[in-house]
Amino acid sequence: MQLKLTDVLAPTTSGIPKQEPLRFERTWPENLRFLLSAAYDGAKGKAYLKLYNPHTKRVELLEDNTGHLPYCYSDLDESELRAALKETIERLVGFERVRLFDALRQQEKTMTKAIAKDPLTIGGRAYSVREKVTAWEADIPYHLNYLMDRGLIVGAPYLLGEDGRLTLYTMDTSEAISIARRLKGVEERDLELVADWIRLLEADQPDLPVCGIDIEVANPIATRVPDPSKAEDKVVAVAIRGSDGRKDVHVLVEGAGPSTVEGDGYRMITHGSEREMLEEVFAVLDSEYAVIATFNGDDFDLPYLRNRAERLGIPKEKVPIVLGREGATFVRAVHVDLYSFFLNKSIQIYAFDNKYREFTLEGISQALLGKGKVKIEEPISSLSAVKLAEYCMNDAELVYNLLTFEDRLVLRLMMVLCRISRLPVEDLCRHGVSGWIKNLLYFEHRRRGWLIPRKEEILEVKGGTVTKAVIEGKKYRGAIVVDPAPGIHFDVKVVDFASLYPSVLARWNLSYETIRCPHEECRRNLVPETPHWVCTKNRGLQSSIIGALKEVRVGLYKPRSSDKSLPEGQRRWYDVVQKATKVFLNASYGVFGFEEFPLYCPPLAESTAAIGRYVFKSAIEKVRELGATVVYGDTDSLFLKGADGAILEKLIRWAATELGLDLEPDKEYVYIVFSSRKKNYLGLTSKGVVDVKGLTGKKRHIPDFIREAFNSMLQELANVRTPEDLETVKRHIADLIKTWHRKLRKREFELSELAFSVMLSKQPESYTETTPPHVKAAKILQQHGVQVTSGDIIRYVKTKDKVGVAPLHPSVKISKDQVDVEKYIEYMRSTFEQVLDSLDMDFDVIVGVGSLEQFFA
């Protein structure tokens, strides 16, 4: 059955005119610039912008000429403010009465705007305005405030006028609206917002000159990481890998004169003087690249270089590094810290599909590039110049590759995320997805002339939650998981609601200002299972903006990312946009249930989940009414048996008309195996892939030995097409279990195959309640002088001795005899049982527990 929903329900996206191929390095007007970042120049007391000029391939700095100043709002009047701000009054320029829209109370409000000479007067000092009076919008970093007030979006192209004015350079609004109009499901009232997203996401992009850098420091104590704030030790190597082909590694060889040697695919430049070496490096970093990437440069490389330069007496104007409170950047380039970017959970999960686990250069590079660091046996300070050069160059190469692999995927992803969040790249890298959404919503408030509410205000006006979570300690009830029907089921079809929570947000007008709004007449518009109501008079801010983003993702970028008729380069770009929008949509509900989010609104998060449950339950009921069976379901997906094409079509049409939501056919399983456990199943999809969810056999911490044994079972299961095939395959599975079991018994394994690898999520000392095995192993490592920190993956094997575990590490000697084989058999048993249960098989019977055969094995 091939149900083509789009044919039934809505016009396809093929009705949308295809864009001309994306325009990289095409002919742009002479005054075209790309906005890369904004910053504050403390010395001049002014904001400035970093603009990339694609014609000269250089970054230009544009100082503010609008007279913009830092400010915040207060509900006191001028005289009250003057009295309260006596200590800092000379740093204030003045006060203005302003009218703003108070969205919480849905009414205009008069506020006093306190305008300051510098950002620290607003916040950051003991006498700052926000310390002395209740202030609004006083926590926004000044450079972000500046971008918001000028409506400027980083990552977007602008035309630079003679007067320094910047005009967004994109397709016309009318053109964007005509595209928006053809997307299905876009309401007339949201057309403009949808068009705005399209303009922004379709805008041209430059091929920025980029590089990756890495430094090495000679520290006398090998186990201690050098302190960048002191920068006491010499910088012995700096490597730069650039998109212009530069592969330079500068190495300090004291006593020797300057020389340039061609290394293996790179240039090694030796310096007799550290100072001269750094000056030469600084000159390159101050002019050649628009984007400079590091791995942990915010916390190490850049502050180290900056402070080391100062120690060496290099004049300030020759050091292009700017240190800020949150990190570091360059004067004429933007800094991208890949470490903090990859640390971002949303990036890890949604953009990279959980492909990397560890947040080290080695771990991430291995997972994404299939390459790693150069192995060295000695400490940095005792490496030969050539070895050091090779090591440092390789790291810079990895950094560069991480930024640029797959057609600059990461760089493009960052630039799209900047466009969506309206953040500069540096800020984007440093903040989590809640920071991104915060900035987007703040920006929209400013655009509309709305006052950004204070966190306490929202809580006071909107109140808390009323539902009870299933998990103790959670704030409200979440999604429903249907009990799976245990056993093997043939011909199962899955349908799911496309981006359920964002759709609910959009469809039910959910926003912090529309939930429990002040209008009496809206109180009847209740959210199921709660006493909350939703505004019927005004369109919610975040409801419309997230809704619009969802429409462009679903209507444009998702289909285009897999549209084989498009050129590959273009498809890749659409995949980047598709990924970036996914990250935003996925987080758009959760942030409102996150206490630290400045627009935290418990009833809003609670209502979103409640409507999600309502929708889900209604769908289950509808399935039954249509005569099919729900064999499993989780949050937004339904696994159906006995649902033919006609039933699916009816179901989907029902969801569209009755709920206004997209229910989509997802996978089809030839067969699927459920135990009684939720979030645990295995099935063969119609595409011939064995899909495994949640089973221990696929968890990443388990020993390779067990995973391999489990995978060999999956290979067998891939051969099952009909119930008849099952018996043969079950026999094969029994055989293979016997084989793997025998291998374990006879100790035919390498220690490394038996290693559990579990992440240490805190410092070992911080485990006060219990001492889990991986923590025991970590503590043993410490006793052997091995450094362990939070975030490390600890590898250990289970042993027969009293401790029960031994870390697997070169510095700890263990032998195969120490292994507790019984424990591993037990682990293997429980891993397999999750599947065998439902196939009417029994691990113990297969391996013959208590049998003579086993006794003599």
Partner DNA sequence: GCGGACTGCTTACCT
Partner DNA sequence: ACAGGTAAGCAGTCCGCG
Per CB under 7 A, contacts with DNA among 657-676 are: 676
Output DSSP code: residue 348: I
Three-class DSSP category at 628: coil
Smallest separation, CB 761 to DNA (Å): 4
**758 interacts with DNA by CB under 7 A:** yes
Query: How far is the first Cα of the chain from the last one, in angstroms, to the nearest whole number?
Result: 51
Instruction: Please name which of 604, 633, 472 lies closest in space to residue 533, comparing C-alpha atoms.
Output: 604
Q: Which residue in 54, 453, 478, 547 binds DNA (CB under 7 A)?
A: 478
838 near DNA (CB under 7 A): no
Instruction: Closer to DNA by CB, 147 or 797: give it.
Output: 797
- Residues 61-100, mask of contacts with DNA (x by CB under 7 A): ----------------------------------------
| Smallest separation (angstroms) from DNA to the CB of 68 | 27
Give the nearer residue to DNA in terms of CB position, either 445 or 795: 795
Q: In Å, what is the CA distance from 517 to each residue of 103, 530, 573, 592?
A: 9, 15, 40, 16
Smallest gap from residue 485 Cβ to DNA (A): 13
Cβ-contact 536, 525 below 8 angstroms: yes
| Residue 514 burial class via C-beta count within 10 angstroms: exposed 0-12, middle 13-18, buried 19 and up | buried
| Binding footprint of DNA, residue count (CB under 7 A) | 74
Near DNA in 172-201, by CB under 7 A: none
Tokens of 117: 């000479």
CB of 740 to DNA, least distance (A): 17
CA 428 remoteness from chain centre: 10
- Region 206-245 residues binding DNA, contact defined as CB under 7 A: none
Residue 533 or residue 681: which is nearer to DNA going by CB? 681
Instruction: Please identify, using beta-carbon distances, which residue of 383 and 835 lies nearer to DNA.
Output: 835
Contact 682, 714 (CB under 8 A): yes
CB 59 within 8 A of CB 141: no
* CB-nearer residue toward DNA: 769 or 817: 769
| Residue 437 near residue 587, CB atoms below 8 Å | yes
Among 845, 839, 847, which Cα is nearest to 736's?
847
Judged by CB under 7 A, which stretch of 57-65, 292-300, 549-557, 763-771 contacts DNA? 763-771
Does 1 participate in binding DNA (rule CB under 7 A)?
no
CA of 501: how far to CAs of 17, 93, 184, 825, in Å?
Answer: 30, 45, 18, 43
- Which residues are within 8 A (CB) of 263 and not within 5 positions of it... i.e. 6 or more apart? 249, 386, 389, 390, 393
Task: Pull the structure tokens for residue 536.
Answer: 């019927």
Tell me which of 752, 771, 787, 851 binds DNA, using CB under 7 A. 771
Query: Per CB under 7 A, which of residues 631..650 are in contact with DNA?
Result: 634-637
Task: Give min distance, CB of 508 to DNA, in A.
Answer: 18
Which one, of 326, 325, 329, lies nearest residue 291 by Cα? 329
Q: How far is the CB of 137 from DNA (least distance, A)?
A: 20
Q: By CB under 7 A, tell whether 814 contacts DNA.
A: no
Of the candidate residues 195, 278, 591, 619, the single one contacting DNA (CB under 7 A): 591
Site string for DNA, 479-498 (x = CB under 7 A): x-x--------------x--
| CA distances from residue 610 to 172, 476, 578 in whole angstroms, order as listed | 40, 9, 27
Q: Which of 114, 281, 587, 615 binds DNA (CB under 7 A)?
A: 587
Going by C-alpha positions, the residue among 418, 696, 450, 453 that lies closest to residue 583 is 418
Contact 33, 84 (CB under 8 A): no
The residues in 372-401 that bind DNA, with binding defined as CB under 7 A, are none
Quick check: 474 binds DNA (CB under 7 A)? yes
Cα–Cα distance measured from residue 68 to residue 93, given in angstroms and rounded to the nearest whole number = 12
Sequence-distant (≥ 6) Cβ neighbours of residue 815 within 8 angstroms:
none
Q: Can you give 652-665 as a three-state secondary structure string? A: HHHHHHHHCCCEEE
> For residues 84 and 481, which CB has a smaller minimum distance to DNA in the complex?
481
**Alpha-carbon separation of residue 194 from 19, 184, 471, 630, 799 (angstroms):** 17, 12, 38, 36, 60
Q: Residues 295, 339, 450, 476: which binds DNA (CB under 7 A)?
A: 476
Q: For DNA, which stretch binds (CB under 7 A), given 31-39, 384-392, 517-525, 593-601?
A: 593-601
Q: How many helices (H) and strands (E) does the chain have?
A: 28, 28
Q: List the one residue from 128, 145, 346, 401 that touches DNA (CB under 7 A).
A: 346
593 binds DNA (CB under 7 A): yes
Determine whether 539 is exposed, middle or buried from the number of CB atoms within 10 Å of its CB (0-12, 13-18, 19+). Answer: middle
Question: Does 325 sit near DNA (CB under 7 A)?
Answer: no
To DNA, the closest distance from the beta carbon of 438 in angstroms equals: 9
Q: How far is the CB of 694 from DNA (least distance, A)?
A: 4
CB of 521 to DNA, least distance (A): 31
Q: How far is the CB of 363 from DNA (least distance, A)?
A: 13
- List the one residue from 538, 586, 711, 782 that touches DNA (CB under 7 A): 586
Site string for DNA, 273-312 (x = CB under 7 A): ----------------------------------------
Instruction: Give yes or no for residue 589 binding DNA (CB under 7 A).
Output: yes
From candidates 48, 490, 654, 767, binder to DNA by CB under 7 A: 767
Closest approach of Cβ 307 to DNA, in Å? 24
- Could you give the maximum distance between any two Cα atoms of the chain, in Å? 95
With CB under 7 A as the contact rule, which of the stretches 143-151, 306-314, 506-514, 629-637 interacts with DNA? 629-637
344 contacts DNA (rule: CB under 7 A): yes
- Within 783-802, which residues bind DNA (CB under 7 A)? 793, 798
Cβ proximity to DNA: between 200 and 702 the closer is 702
Q: Which of 263, 804, 812, 825 binds DNA (CB under 7 A)?
A: 804
* Interface map 396-435 toward DNA (x if CB under 7 A): ----------------------------------xxxxxx
x-or-dash string of contact with DNA, 696-735, rule CB under 7 A: x-xxxx----------------------------------
Q: Which of 496, 488, 447 is nearest to 192 (CA)?
A: 447
The nearest distance, CB 503 to DNA, in angstroms, is: 13
User: Could you say whether residue 843 binds DNA (CB under 7 A)?
Assistant: no
Please, which residue, 158 or 832, has the CB nearer to DNA? 832
The single residue among 263, 463, 487, 590 that binds DNA, judged by CB under 7 A, is: 590
Could you say which residues in the range 678-697 bind DNA, by CB under 7 A? 678-680, 692-694, 696
User: What b/e sequence results for 474-491 when a residue is b if at least 16 CB atoms lie within 10 Å of its CB, and e otherwise?
Assistant: ebbbbebebebeeebbee
363 binds DNA (CB under 7 A): no
328-330 vs 629-634, strand pairing mode: unpaired
DSSP string, 212-243: EEEEEE--SSTTSPP-TTT--SPEEEEEEEET
Regarding 55 and contact with DNA (CB under 7 A), the answer is no
Please state, as a whole number, how many other Cβ atoms lie within 10 Å of the Cβ of residue 561: 19
Q: CA 164 to CA 696: how far, in whole Å?
A: 60
Please give the Cα distance from 241 to 405 (Å, whole number).
Answer: 13
> What number of other Cβ atoms are within 10 A of residue 33's Cβ?
25
Name which position in 69, 399, 623, 760 contacts DNA (CB under 7 A): 760
Interacting span for DNA (CB under 7 A) from 118-126, 361-369, 443-451, 589-597? 589-597
